[in-house]
Amino acid sequence: MEPLSGRKSLTDEVHDRLVDALCSGALPPGTPLRQEALAEELNVSRQPVLQALGLLRRDGLVEPMGRRGYRVAPVDADLVRHVYDLREAFDGLAARLAAQSNAPDRESALRAAITQGNHALGSGDTAELVAADVAFHQTIYRLSGNPLLPEASAAVWLQIRRVMHADLQTGSSRDPIWTEHEAIADAICAGDGDRAQMLAIEHTHNAKHRLISNMKDTDHHTN
């Protein structure tokens, strides 16, 4: 076989650009996605756009609209429930393994992630808050020592990023999240796998119910 160039394909570049727009809220749920318009905006042919939309459909980020193309998939209570049920399993396992690991940078990496989160809280910027939240959990995944965890959970985390943005833009409370993060980090640094797993699962469980409750309140006020 011929060696690969190592450069991203146009399809990958289009996919990454669309993922960023979907997860940042620049393309909110329900937004129609026309192949021709996207190709013109991104200055590419229709083929990489079509292939990128197929990948996004596979991951549940967009849904077909018949002959009219695609639209951004909704962010609703059912999505939160399904995604966060999976996240409980991933986060609990990652926290337990991280507490049992011998990674030399375990404490410094977690403290740096907490510092990043506190800085984001101070700025109040939604994109920065989401990036800090994702970075904290991905740090735990890395410290778990299981290289399959980030890959196995990648599609779930795309949905989590969408949910986080949608929730934070409603002005919901942000402080409890980082208080819970710090408790998880403390348990991992102490090498207490049972407590780290319990706190990680509890954190995700709390987030799920908080998100669903916020969605119900928003629906109530808009109806």
Q: Is the pTM of this model over 0.75?
A: yes
Largest pairwise CA distance in the chain: 59
CATH of 77-222, one of 3.30.420.60, 1.20.120.530, 3.40.50.300, 1.10.1040.10: 1.20.120.530
Look at residue 168 in the predicted model and tell me its pLDDT.
78
| Long-range contacts of 9-16, Cβ-Cβ distance < 8 Å, separation of 24 or more | 9/48, 10/44, 10/45, 10/48, 11/48, 11/51, 11/52, 11/55, 12/52, 13/48, 14/38, 14/42, 14/44, 14/48, 14/49, 14/51, 14/52, 15/51, 15/52, 15/55, 15/56
> Would the CA dihedral through 203, 204, 210, 214 be positive or negative?
positive
Q: Are 31 and 21 in contact (CB under 8 A)?
A: no
Alpha carbons within 13 A on the beta-carbon side of 70: 27
Look at residue 165 in the predicted model and tell me its pLDDT.
86
Supply the DSSP symbol for 43.
T
Span 10-33, pLDDT tens digits: 899 999 999 999 988 899 999 999
Q: 10 Å Cβ neighbour count for 147?
A: 10
Domain ranges of the chain: 10-72, 77-222
Look at residue 20 in the predicted model and tell me its pLDDT.
92
> 24: which residues sit within 8 A by CB, 6+ positions away?
127, 165
Look at residue 135 in the predicted model and tell me its pLDDT.
96
Q: What type of residue is 43?
A: N
Look at residue 4 in the predicted model and tell me its pLDDT.
37
At residue 211, the 3 state secondary structure works out as helix
Look at residue 25 in the predicted model and tell me its pLDDT.
85
Look at residue 85 in the predicted model and tell me its pLDDT.
95
Instruction: List the chain residues with pLDDT less than 50.
Output: 3-6, 220-223
Topology of the domain covering 10-72: Arc Repressor Mutant, subunit A (1.10.10)
Angle, CA 202 vertex, CA 19 and CA 114 arms, to 5°: 60
Look at residue 174 in the predicted model and tell me its pLDDT.
64
Q: Are 95 and 188 in contact (CB under 8 A)?
A: yes
Look at residue 82 in the predicted model and tell me its pLDDT.
94
Cα dihedral angle (180, 88, 62, 53), rounded to 10 degrees?
100
